[in-house]
Chain A
């Protein structure tokens, strides 16, 4: 593939100009700003000391630890729900025909383009104890959704809903049903067929979707901001902490927490590329 590309490339001045423009654009927009954040994380800032020790000290602040563990809990549940739901819905969409199938497929894509703020507002209007449709009845059985962890999990699950489905559906379409049919005709149960035949063939697509979901869930901000109290030790997730600290002139901690999320994001991209690469080369 690379050889083919090389013979095809005409290295005229136009090619060089385009290459330069593209690199300059990406550098000014992404690479340079990200490198400044990394530099600020470890440099002395506003009279506070720099270096790795200070960075670790900022991250071991109990409020920061609380924020990251809350983010971890929310991410775990939201991604778990989305993975099970996503694989199930993908199977339904690809393997079965039923009325409303197309509506369902459009509906699961919707969270991709709904504003996070709208997601937050929607959950508040449906489930908040004061003004939500089901708030009172849920409160009467002791469940608070808004301003507590279930609301945060729901907001995060909403935002990261389509990722697993979008990765698994095309793979399911491509592998077809022949092996599954064969397994079934040889006496395997539906469940065995799923575990032994279907799941192994969609494994990397599921993994890919899960990594994307984790990256999205870790960094969710807008929807979470609206359904959370957002105060330290009270619903303050990692992203909310960054905003609060930045606003309260504690930029060093904001940068330290942001750096952790940058590393997580870059890690997710690298993992995704590693998963994608072997598939592309076969």
Chain B
């Protein structure tokens, strides 16, 4: 422990003279511990995935992804995620709108219910959907092992993202501009398209990115509902599980690397969006 203290605070002390850093001895030690833990928990394991994927060379990596069955799973995942993101952009914005601008009894309950898919364990989410839309459905709809079933599960787990990013922006939005537009003869649709939509756009984009990332990587809620039939209802995350269970770690790592790449792109994009919004004030 004392050795670690010396090695970590050493560079921090020398850096203190530079304006780039204002770390003290204690905070330098804290940073060292934090980076060490983050490396053990997140960084090294994720690097291990990328290394395992590229161990056999880029050719093997590419071959793993373009294997017809894997490619079909990837295509289905991306298409489902895009569809569900589009749905969320429209319905999520709508829900946020109703929650902010409308008043009716039970609105508070609706507001709380939006969080349920976020807090519910994913396997329970799958079970919940199966109980109404599964084999013993009281309404006679059985979506097990169908692409609609996957879509339903993804719509369930991604419900809160757009709502929760758009809602606070809508709350803060100044109504003066809307009223001015309306008083100048703009219709509701024009006011929405020209005044409201532009201010909501960064929030909608952020929510949509989160929803897309979640849909691409979703696993738990799909385990029970997707029958996992190759070429038809097999998604990327379930494909990875199949590879791991078949002791095929290189191919599992190849698909995982692709999912990881999407995750990194989304996180960096969100970082850029929030920075741009912050700069505009």
| A258 and B112 within 8 A (CB) | no
B38 in contact (CB, < 8 A): yes
Chain A contacts for B218, CB-based, 8 A: 115
CA distance A242 to B267 in the complex (A): 32
CA distance A29 to B20 in the complex (A): 50
Residue of B nearest to A45 (CB): B136
Which of B22, B49, B175 is within 8 Å of A96, CB to CB?
Answer: B22
| A33 and B30 within 8 A (CB) | no
Which of A131, A222, A225, A246 is within 8 Å of B224, CB to CB?
Answer: A246
CA distance A114 to B219 in the complex (A): 11
| A133 and B217 within 8 A (CB) | no
A74 in contact (CB, < 8 A): no
Which of A23, A89, A98 is within 8 Å of B20, CB to CB?
Answer: A98
CA distance A56 to B172 in the complex (A): 47
CB distance from A28 to the nearest CB of B (A): 9
A152 in contact (CB, < 8 A): no
Interface of A is mostly: helix
CA distance A133 to B270 in the complex (A): 32
Q: Mark A256-281 against chain B: 1 for CB-CB distance below 8 A, else 0.
A: 00100110011011101100000000
Chain A contacts for B110, CB-based, 8 A: 22-23, 26
Interface residues on B, range: 35 or more
Given A190-B26, A269-B119: A9 in contact with B103 (beta carbons within 8 A): yes
| A96 and B23 within 8 A (CB) | yes
CA distance A269 to B246 in the complex (A): 39
| B219 and A115 within 8 A (CB) | yes
| A121 and B49 within 8 A (CB) | yes
A205 in contact (CB, < 8 A): no
CA distance A134 to B99 in the complex (A): 50
CB distance from B181 to the nearest CB of A (A): 14
B8 in contact (CB, < 8 A): no
| B128 and A33 within 8 A (CB) | yes
Q: Mark A103-125 against chain B: 1 for CB-CB distance below 8 A, else 0.
A: 01111111111111111111111
Residue of A nearest to B102 (CB): A19
| A30 and B117 within 8 A (CB) | yes
Q: Which stretch in B60-68, B90-98, B193-201, B226-234 binds the other chain? A: B90-98
Interface residues on A, range: 35 or more
Chain B contacts for A96, CB-based, 8 A: 21-23, 27, 31
| A121 and B240 within 8 A (CB) | yes
Given A113-B267, A115-B259, A221-B220: A261 in contact with B159 (beta carbons within 8 A): no
Chain B contacts for A254, CB-based, 8 A: 127
| A125 and B21 within 8 A (CB) | no
Which of B24, B26, B34, B263 is within 8 Å of A110, CB to CB?
Answer: B263
CA distance A234 to B123 in the complex (A): 19
Given A18-B97, A107-B42: A113 in contact with B124 (beta carbons within 8 A): no
Given A6-B103, A117-B237, A118-B260: A265 in contact with B121 (beta carbons within 8 A): yes
| A118 and B220 within 8 A (CB) | no
CA distance A49 to B25 in the complex (A): 64
| A92 and B31 within 8 A (CB) | yes
Chain B contacts for A126, CB-based, 8 A: 44-45, 48
CA distance A118 to B263 in the complex (A): 11
| A9 and B101 within 8 A (CB) | yes
CB distance from B37 to the nearest CB of A (A): 6
CB distance from B173 to the nearest CB of A (A): 11
Q: Mark B111-150 against chain A: 1 for CB-CB distance below 8 A, else 0.
A: 0111111011111100111011100001000000000000
Chain A residues in the interface with B (C-beta under 8 A) = 2, 5-6, 8-9, 14-15, 18-19, 21-23, 25-26, 29-34, 36-37, 40, 85, 88-89, 91-92, 95-99, 102, 104-127, 131-133, 154, 157-158, 161, 190, 215, 218-222, 225-226, 239, 242-243, 246, 254-255, 258, 261-262, 265-266, 268-270, 272-273
Selected A-B contacts with CB under 8 Å, 13 pairs: A91-B27, A99-B21, A114-B217, A114-B260, A116-B219, A117-B256, A118-B259, A121-B49, A122-B48, A158-B41, A262-B120, A265-B121, A266-B116
